[in-house]
Structure 1
Amino acid sequence: MKNIFATDPLTIDLKLCYIGLFTGIIFAIICYILSFSFVDVSLTLFFACFVYYVLKYKDTSNNVNTLKTFKSQYINHVVLINLSFVALTLILVNEMYLFSNIIFLYFIIIILSCLVMLEFISAPSKTIYSLLTISKIFIIAVILRWNMYFQYPNYIGVDAWYHSAIISDIIEFGHLPIDYTYSKYPIMHLLVSIGSLISNITIKNSMGFTVGLFEIISLIYVFLIGRSISSIKIGILATFLVAVSSYHISWGYYIIPMSLGLSVFSTIFYLLFRKKSLLLPRFKIITLLLIFLIIITHTLSTAVTWLFAALLYVSDKLYLIYSKKDLGLSLISLSLVLVVLTSMLGYWMYATGFIGYVSLAIKSSLTTSEISPIVANPLIVNAIERQLNRIELLLFIGFTIIGSLFWLSEGIDDPRKLTLMVSGAVITLLLFFSIFIGIDSALPDRWYAFLYVIIANISAVGIIYFVNSFKNDNLMVFSLVIIMALFTAFAITGAAANGGSAAYSEVQIKESLTESDLHSYNTLSRIYHGKVTTDAYSGLYFNYKAKLPTKNFEPYNLTNDHGLTILRINYLKNNPVSSPVADINQQGYGGYEATLILLNDVDFESLYGNSYSKIYDSRDISGFY
């Protein structure tokens, strides 16, 4: 069979384009008939290949590194752009409230994104102008993450409470606890503990100002990679895509070891990407130290790092076939694969007892129901929010396909481009395959953040290639601004990046604890030391903060004696409670079946007044014993 890489490079893109057109439409039909959820992904593949095919035969500028700039307009409007950006940022920060955001604030964020794009397309490609644009992108990134993080006084999500308990024990006892699963992966907890002790701030604030800040700073590596393989413009646009992505925003406020692992991965990714630098001893030492650091930080981040190192070796071999040039780096790539794999497996064997745990993990990966109880549930969002977030992903993947085909049409002059394409393609296929067959234990939702770091620059190339197809300057500017405004809008709309949005229905994150709730729970934990029945979020507090045994049902189950029962008014407004006396027409009256009702403290007192006594009462919290 004829080797496709041995043909003229100009034909490779068209061959893959035809394959994409055919595969996309066939899979879309199959998924529609079988009611699979990948119709939109298949259609994205089809339309991306179709758009590329049209652009291929259109008189389009093939140099994506020479996006037309409008220097005179930039000089004339630089003051206006920056003043507008500062003014809107101040309005945005001033109008942020606990637990809710007005819809107008999200229009401001979209406008800020448009201002960044106007500056991006009009500014000359010089370092001073690039730094000005990059600084604006970082400001938007901080707002999107810290708005969510500091919007709620308590931790967001189950895992964050768990890890805060480990950090609390480290600070209280002065050593690593041994009774937690993550005691063998302590880097994030030690970092936050040190930050809290040195700065005398709360654990939550220390998480935000250490791990959360590292996640934002790590965006710079996306820019550096884009600048090195393409241009400053590509690097800036790729950084913007990652900064406003919901998959990265969520790890900037849902702070757990995964957040730090993502930051360390971005650093390792950049160092491995600078292949020739690995010939220098100091870069070898730094890379090895970071590899060992990520191994004792987070398991999934380590696995993705090993996978990327393996794909780095594969792409080197493919480049040798493609260009007939041996860069002499394959041995280094293979060594990295072996070092990461050996270190990763060796430490996991030490940390888990290996044989029994691995056999359980393999079994669980094939039967997802066995592992589901220990996997954190995602945020509950309604259909429209989920679809809007999905459009962000589809736009990103669509332009990545266009950018990849364009690079192939130009010929792979830089082996690092092939590394990005091979890594992005393989990880995307693995991600969607795990979702398709239902291996939830692979945590596929967490892979998107790593994928964005890898393919952001390819997506930026696809966007610039598309924008350059417009010969009219006004259309070029308009198309770029609209694309990025839509990407931003879809990214920040759903609950993943914007749980407090006033535009959508109640979501799980809105049921977080208020300052008043926390004050009440502190009081209750001092006067009561037994079993507690409450809602899920309150149960997290009592489990990990007050360290009381809980029966945290969602909804409540009041068919048995569950000790102290705490009713939180904000929760009960929208969540039903299971009661055996809710409906006298059902067997639930005095029997075993229960009916779901909306129950407040008055209803509870009237139904259970003879069995329970109210021992605590505040504006938002009632306690019955």
Structure 2
Amino acid sequence: MSRQIDVFNIYVKITFVSLILSASAFFVSPYPIGSDPWAHLEYIKNFLQFNSLTVSGSTHRVDEYYLNYPISHLFATAISLITNLSTRVSFYMISTTLIFSTIFTYIFVKEISNDSNIALFSLLLLSVADCHIQWTSKVIAMSFGLAIYSIIIYLLIKVNSMNMSASHRPIYSSLLILFTFLIIWVHTISAFITLITIICLYIMSLVNQKMFSQKTYGTLGKFTFCVVVIVTLIYHWMDPSYPFFSDILRTLLHSLSSETEFLSQNFHSEVVESSEMLLLTFGFLIYTFFGIIGSLFTLSRFNSSSRNTSLLFTVLALYTIRYTFPIFGLRNVIPERWPAFIYVIFVLFIAIGFFKIVFSIKSQKQQIVSIFIILFTASFFMITDNETNLDSPIYGENVIQRLVWTESEMSLFTRVNELYDNVIVTDRQTEIRPFETYLYRDQKKVIGYPLNNQGKINWDVINKNLIIWRKTSLSRPVSCSSAEVVLGHDFEVKLYNNFSCIYNTGEAKAFV
């Protein structure tokens, strides 16, 4: 009993730390953090306003796509109606769902490793991982999908457990089918990753059975379950409002048929990368190092098992797709979001690798020092990189956009939007989020900084318009019409020399 109490206390502390990291990033501004969360918050506002699954015709940047994937928004809407919380706080409840879903990662790792220490450490590593903090602060529908994905992984392991009683297996199988269908109506990418995960586990079940004479585990060897998921996904992806399936195939075929599209990107950056970029990936490299060690250990002759090899193959497949798809110019699957899902499984091998290296040290004092140094270093770089710290990064500032808008900036935008009826020129992200999504400004009356063929500001286009300048553009990149650019001090000087400042809040200024 004392052991269970210790585990519970540690779990509560880890969850509390995760909540602090998430909430401190989410509530750093009274407005959404990042870009996409602005649109998702508007869905919830519209659901509450119209009491139905609809969006206002005046919301130019909020189309009807997510009306076909409304589960996360309905969840936040229900929270708002039941608890009478503000829309923004209800929106954050999606984050708390993701945070508390990590308990399923703990249970699944405990089931595989049969070690509470490894399971708790996996939970800690996942809670301070940059991709986990990122999607609990930049809340989108995928955040809810990631929570459901953790549940699905647990159910897959539980259904296939040799120790499960026959009476309980139908219950867990039904829950697995329910959550698998649910994630299809939550988020496209989440469902796509879930499909790949299920297929990989099924394939490895067959491999283990045919080649190594290892006993397969229940559902992992069920062909029918894979077929049902595939058919359901394709049916939903053929939705005429957003034909995800045909878009992926069309993009892939176009990339393969044209050499000029190979390795292409739709958006480029003029920002010069510095040595600080290496620090942005340092936390990832630490996790990967221990993950490789843990993977090699679990593949060793005396430690390999059917479930371990299946999970490791799934991680390898997900990483392969994540890094291969962009090579062919296929970005519909948004590969930069995949690590959050990969870590749900990979964290098991990271924890195993960490334990094997640290406990190979004989001295207990040296073990404690090593644990502290490694954990402090990994967590420091995880919670300070460009994924988790958009406001005031300690390093890499010159390559990270500041997708955080302060109250003073928003007051300027609101005032200008009310009083000025002609075209407003600002950075691209401010154009599409605060102005078009939040303030519902007509798309024809606000544009991003236009660039000429040389990648410089096209002053001929903006001379007769109102220009909004953000202080952050002095040292940090902003999105323009076709690239990311650091405007620098020269841009501000030219504004003062050729225009009149009519509004100044310190963080932002308006010039005509």
Quickly name the TM-score band, shorter chain normalised. 0.7 to 0.9
Structure 1 SS opposite 2:197: helix
- 1:216 maps to a residue whose letter is I
CA distance in 2, matches of 1:381, 1:256: 30
Equivalence for 1:157: 34
Deviation digits for residues 363-388 of structure 1, max 9, x if unmatched?
Answer: 46654788736xxx99x896444322
| 1:286–1:312 distance in 2 versus 1, CA, 3 Å | same
After TM superposition, list the pairs within 5 Å mapping 1:385-404 onto structure 2.
Answer: 385-404=276-295
CA distance in 2, matches of 1:516, 1:177: 31
CA distance in 2, matches of 1:357, 1:430: 17
1:317 equivalent to 2:209? Answer: no
After TM superposition, list the pairs within 5 Å mapping 1:178-197 onto structure 2.
Answer: 179-197=63-81
Equivalence for 1:552: 448
CA distance in 2, matches of 1:411, 1:163: 49
CA RMSD of aligned residues (A): 3.4
- 2:69 maps to a residue whose letter is Y
Equivalence for 1:473: 364
Equivalence for 2:428: 536
CA distance in 1, matches of 2:472, 2:392: 17
1:216 equivalent to 2:64? Answer: no
Structure 1 SS opposite 2:447: strand
> Normalising by the residue count of structure 2, what TM-score does the alignment of the two structures yield?
0.82
CA distance in 1, matches of 2:228, 2:460: 56
CA distance in 2, matches of 1:619, 1:500: 16
Query: How far is 1:421 from its partner?
Result: 1.6
1:372 equivalent to 2:262? Answer: no
8 Å CA contact retained: 1:144, 1:497: no
8 Å CA contact retained: 2:390, 2:402: yes
Deviation digits for residues 71-115 of structure 1, max 9, x if unmatched?
Answer: xxxxxxxxxxxxxxxxxxxxxxxxxxxxxxxxxxxxxxxxxxxxx
CA distance in 2, matches of 1:426, 1:199: 42
Equivalence for 2:252: 362
Query: How far is 1:298 from its partner?
Result: 1.1
| 1:348–1:389 distance in 2 versus 1, CA, 3 Å | same
- Of residues 334, 343, 347, the one that matches 2:232 is 343
8 Å CA contact retained: 2:42, 2:438: yes
- Of residues 104, 111, 120, the one that matches 1:228 is 111
CA distance in 2, matches of 1:448, 1:315: 21
Equivalence for 2:383: 492
Deviation digits for residues 167-195 of structure 1, max 9, x if unmatched?
Answer: 33222222223643222212222222333
- 1:335 maps to a residue whose letter is T
8 Å CA contact retained: 1:219, 1:239: yes
Query: How far is 1:356 from its partner?
Result: 5.9
Query: How far is 1:353 from its partner?
Result: 4.7
> Normalising by the residue count of structure 1, what TM-score does the alignment of the two structures yield?
0.68
Query: How far is 1:493 from its partner?
Result: 2.9
- Of residues 338, 346, 349, the one that matches 1:458 is 349
1:244 equivalent to 2:128? Answer: yes
Deviation digits for residues 261-303 of structure 1, max 9, x if unmatched?
Answer: 1111111111112133697332222222211221111111111
- How many pairs are equivalent? 476
| 1:187–1:138 distance in 2 versus 1, CA, 3 Å | same
Q: Which runs of 5+ in 2 are unaligned?
A: 56-62, 452-456, 480-486
Equivalence for 2:191: 302
8 Å CA contact retained: 2:248, 2:330: no
Equivalence for 2:404: 512
- Percentage of identical aligned residues: 26
- 1:372 maps to a residue whose letter is N
Query: How far is 1:235 from its partner?
Result: 0.3
| 1:369–1:560 distance in 2 versus 1, CA, 3 Å | farther
8 Å CA contact retained: 2:149, 2:190: yes
Question: Which deviates more, 441-450 or 293-302?
Answer: 441-450
8 Å CA contact retained: 1:294, 1:302: yes
Question: Which deviates more, 528-537 or 400-409?
Answer: 528-537
Query: How far is 1:166 from its partner?
Result: 2.5
After TM superposition, list the pairs within 5 Å mapping 1:102-121 onto structure 2.
Answer: none
- 1:546 maps to a residue whose letter is L
CA distance in 2, matches of 1:476, 1:464: 10
| 1:128–1:365 distance in 2 versus 1, CA, 3 Å | farther
Query: How far is 1:467 from its partner?
Result: 1.9
Deviation digits for residues 318-361 of structure 1, max 9, x if unmatched?
Answer: 22245524446267532221121111111111253578645533
1:565 equivalent to 2:455? Answer: no
CA distance in 1, matches of 2:434, 2:83: 24
8 Å CA contact retained: 1:148, 1:498: yes
Equivalence for 2:483: none
1:426 equivalent to 2:426? Answer: no
Query: How far is 1:543 from its partner?
Result: 0.5
Deviation digits for residues 540-562 of structure 1, max 9, x if unmatched?
Answer: 21110111122122776542368
8 Å CA contact retained: 1:533, 1:565: yes
Query: How far is 1:498 from its partner?
Result: 2.4
Question: Which deviates more, 188-197 or 254-263?
Answer: 188-197
CA distance in 2, matches of 1:170, 1:363: 38
CA distance in 1, matches of 2:217, 2:28: 52
Question: Which deviates more, 330-339 or 451-460?
Answer: 330-339
